[in-house]
Amino acid sequence: MTSRLHRGALLHFLDDPTKTAEDSYAYFSNGALLVEDGKVIAAGAADEVQTQVPLGTPVVEHADALLMPGFIDTHVHYPQLDIVGAHGEQLLEWLERYVFPTEAKFGDYAHARAVADRFLAELLRNGTTTALVFGTVHPESVDAFFDAAAERNLRMIAGKVMMDRNAPAYLCDDPESAYRDSRRLIERWHGKGRASYAVTPRFAPTSSPAQLAAAGRLLREFPGIYLHTHMSENISEVSWVRELFPHVDHYLHSYDEAGLLGRRSVFAHCIHLSEEEWERMASTGCGAAFCPTSNLFLGSGLFPLREAERFGVEVGLGTDIGAGTSFSLLQTIDAAYKVQQLQGASLSPLKSFYLATLGGARVLDLEDSLGNFLPGKEADFVVLDLAATPLLANRLSHCENLFETLFVLSTLGDDRCIRENWVLGELAHERHKEFVDLSA
Ligand SMILES: [Zn+2]
């Protein structure tokens, strides 16, 4: 039995701050987190938690730090690690010019595994412990990813891309092979350790109605698996869907008619949706991934967070690497704030850190295991360094309350703020050590 007591300032969320401002979070400036065998036993004020600590339990002190649940990235593409920052295109041209050529290499397990290892190292050094992840069309890409995630004990959700039209022949499957390959991967990976499978059509333009129907069949045959795709990211894409599916009422309908909506269905972007689409997402329990750095980078548009809130659709944050420009959820929060500013809305830092933790867990239907420090939750947590840079330390010294501290942290923070990342109660990343290793 391994147990440790972590001492330091501690913050976690109990609900969406938009719904219940006061009771939505718990903050302890002198806090403690008791972890045993990878699970949270207790979290709260240090003097209260200490009464529950067995004699001889090792104590880890975290000075000038804030402990939070590990960040959750609800939409990201691991195979696009090598094309982050590709210049000059909007969505459809960007896919053709940069994404498809790089994804072609992932039929080779060794290549896929090497990229998966680099990708997971980036997640950890940015404070992320769980993600919903695109593979490529190749089953090998998923095997490599889950092998790499299992080696690090990470809770990850991923799947093979389904794509049978409007893409280069070298990246296309067909409805039958997509069904067969996905099925094999589900049987091999879903529920194995901390892995979960997501049926992953890239988006409606690259899947025929027959292929979307095959995706629906998988969801019916394997309750508990996920559906992960893109929707309404770019105006040209939305018009294209209208041409490709002339009989549907709107974009969401192309997925709805295939049986793809449900509590474990996550749609990335959701920028240009009608009220009818928001209503249908809410009534079927679908979640939305808000990917602000990506939406700005590709010039796609501004995610209407207030609409999602008005209709009661759960939202998480996505980095959407490689259209997104940072692995850091802190920088993603910073971009999310600016995207809301451009719409005349002021995103509260309480809300944005909720989105990065418990909100993400809710979108992924993982609230029972992740998202905060309630007893019994899996002990994935991040130690944020409040003195990571001279500017941050100086600016934070002028903050008068938690609200200001969080806002400054997300405005000035990045991967340098991730002092440590702990997975199932074990140290998985240590920034200081990485620095020493790099300079050795
Ligand atoms: Zn994406």
Give the DSSP per-residue string, 120-157. Answer: HHHHHHTTEEEEEEE--SSHHHHHHHHHHHHHTT-EEE
Peptide bond preceding 322 in cis form (omega within 30 of 0): yes
Q: Tell me how far the alpha carbon of residue 230 lies from the centroid of ligand 1, in angstroms.
A: 6
Q: Tell me how far the alpha carbon of residue 80 lies from the centroid of ligand 1, in angstroms.
A: 10
Q: Tell me how far the alpha carbon of residue 228 lies from the centroid of ligand 1, in angstroms.
A: 10
The two counts, helices (H) then strands (E), for the chain are: 18, 16
Please state the φ and ψ torsions of residue 227, each to the nearest 5 degrees: -120, 130
Q: Are residues 358 and 374 in contact, defined by beta-carbon separation less than 8 angstroms?
A: no
Q: What is the pLDDT of residue 435?
A: 66
Q: Tell me how far the alpha carbon of residue 203 lies from the centroid of ligand 1, in angstroms.
A: 9
Q: Tell me how far the alpha carbon of residue 318 lies from the centroid of ligand 1, in angstroms.
A: 9
Q: What is the pLDDT of residue 19?
A: 86
Alpha helices in 190-232 (DSSP H): 209-221
Q: Tell me how far the alpha carbon of residue 324 lies from the centroid of ligand 1, in angstroms.
A: 8
Continuous segment of H or E residues that includes residue 279 = helix 275-284
Q: Tell me how far the alpha carbon of residue 158 lies from the centroid of ligand 1, in angstroms.
A: 13
Q: Tell me how far the alpha carbon of residue 22 lies from the centroid of ligand 1, in angstroms.
A: 34
In this prediction the pTM is 0.97
Q: Tell me how far the alpha carbon of residue 181 lies from the centroid of ligand 1, in angstroms.
A: 21
Q: What is the pLDDT of residue 436?
A: 64
Q: What is the pLDDT along the chain (440 residues), one digit of tens a residue?
A: 799 999 999 999 999 999 877 799 999 999 999 999 999 999 999 999 999 999 999 999 999 999 999 999 999 999 999 999 999 899 999 999 999 999 999 999 999 999 999 999 999 999 999 999 999 999 999 999 999 999 999 999 999 999 999 999 999 999 999 999 999 999 999 999 999 999 999 999 999 999 999 999 999 999 999 999 999 999 999 999 999 999 999 999 999 999 999 999 999 999 999 999 999 999 999 999 999 999 999 999 999 999 999 999 999 999 999 999 999 999 999 999 999 999 999 999 999 999 999 999 999 999 999 999 999 999 999 999 999 999 999 999 999 999 999 999 999 999 999 999 999 999 999 998 876 665 55
Q: Tell me how far the alpha carbon of residue 134 lies from the centroid of ligand 1, in angstroms.
A: 8
Q: Tell me how far the alpha carbon of residue 60 lies from the centroid of ligand 1, in angstroms.
A: 38
**Is 205 strand, coil or helix?**
helix
**Single-letter code of the amino acid located at 152:** R
Q: Tell me how far the alpha carbon of residue 332 lies from the centroid of ligand 1, in angstroms.
A: 14
Q: Tell me how far the alpha carbon of residue 345 lies from the centroid of ligand 1, in angstroms.
A: 25
Q: What is the pLDDT of residue 22?
A: 78
Q: Tell me how far the alpha carbon of residue 278 lies from the centroid of ligand 1, in angstroms.
A: 20
Q: Tell me how far the alpha carbon of residue 24 lies from the centroid of ligand 1, in angstroms.
A: 30
Q: Tell me how far the alpha carbon of residue 285 lies from the centroid of ligand 1, in angstroms.
A: 20
Partners of residue 93 on adjacent β-strands = none
The three-point CA angle 103-150-434 to 5° equals: 85
- CA 339/CA 414 separation, integer angstroms: 18
Q: What is the pLDDT of residue 434?
A: 77
What's the full length of the chain, in residues?
Answer: 440
Q: Tell me how far the alpha carbon of residue 91 lies from the centroid of ligand 1, in angstroms.
A: 10
- CA 206/CA 409 separation, integer angstroms: 39
Dihedral over Cα of 309, 341, 288, 383: its sign: negative
**Is 418 strand, coil or helix?**
strand
Q: Among all chains, which residue has been given the structure tokens 């499978």?
A: 197
For ion ligand 1, residues whose CB falls within 5 Å: 268, 320
Cα end-to-end span (Å), the chain = 35
Q: Among all chains, which residue has been given the structure tokens 């809710």?
A: 362
- CA 363/CA 355 separation, integer angstroms: 9
Q: What is the pLDDT of residue 438?
A: 58
